[in-house]
Amino acid sequence: MIDELLQGNEKFLADEFRPNAEYYHAIADRQTPKVLWIGCSDSRVSEHQMTGSKPGTMFVHRNVANIVAFNDVNISAILEYGVVHLKVEDIIVCGHTRCGGIAAIEDGVHENYIADWLCIATGAKEAADRIARERNLSREEKLAVLTEENVKLQIKHLRNLALIRNMHAKGERPRIHGWLYRVETGTIDVLVDGRATRTA
């Protein structure tokens, strides 16, 4: 696999980097992304590939189940660097279908660190449990609801962080968006008023 990755770099150089050398030399000097992406670490979910964007477009943070944690120095530093220094105008929290982290939130998990991390999404699980009871949902339907509820919860966490809260007290930026990527179709749904709406 390692050899394949290095061969892939040779193909990238020939097909993408060298034909667009001026662009890559420009971003080598300075990055000016307009978007901060908070997504899942899942290997099937590539923010640049799914959006057809080039390197330099997005400042990226990924973790299991696209969680915004209050006690995570990593995401706090990324947020501060992104909105204060890079001055990103938009933040996207993107969940995705068939997420192992979401399934683990639903089913429970016994590994210590994973369980501790996923408990940050407890509020989403409680909301999905309630909705599933009210609508008599199947497991697959419930996981879809849980995926959306988790994005909504992480946006709530994001808005409650002092850095973002203080910036919003002065204006609307950074704008915050909730997205859902469907790994089975390659499409992106935008969450509008808590519901997925196909726009991409």
Residues identified as active-site: 40, 42, 44, 96, 99
Three-state SS for the chain is CHHHHHHHHHHHHHHHHCCCHHHHHHHHHCCCCCEEEEEECCCCCCHHHHHCCCCCCEEEEEECCCCCCCCCHHHHHHHHHHHHHCCCCEEEEEEECCCHHHHHHHHCCCCHHHHHHHHHHHHHHHHHHHHHHHHCCCHHHHHHHHHHHHHHHHHHHHHHCHHHHHHHHHCCCCEEEEEEEECCCCEEEEEECCEEEECC
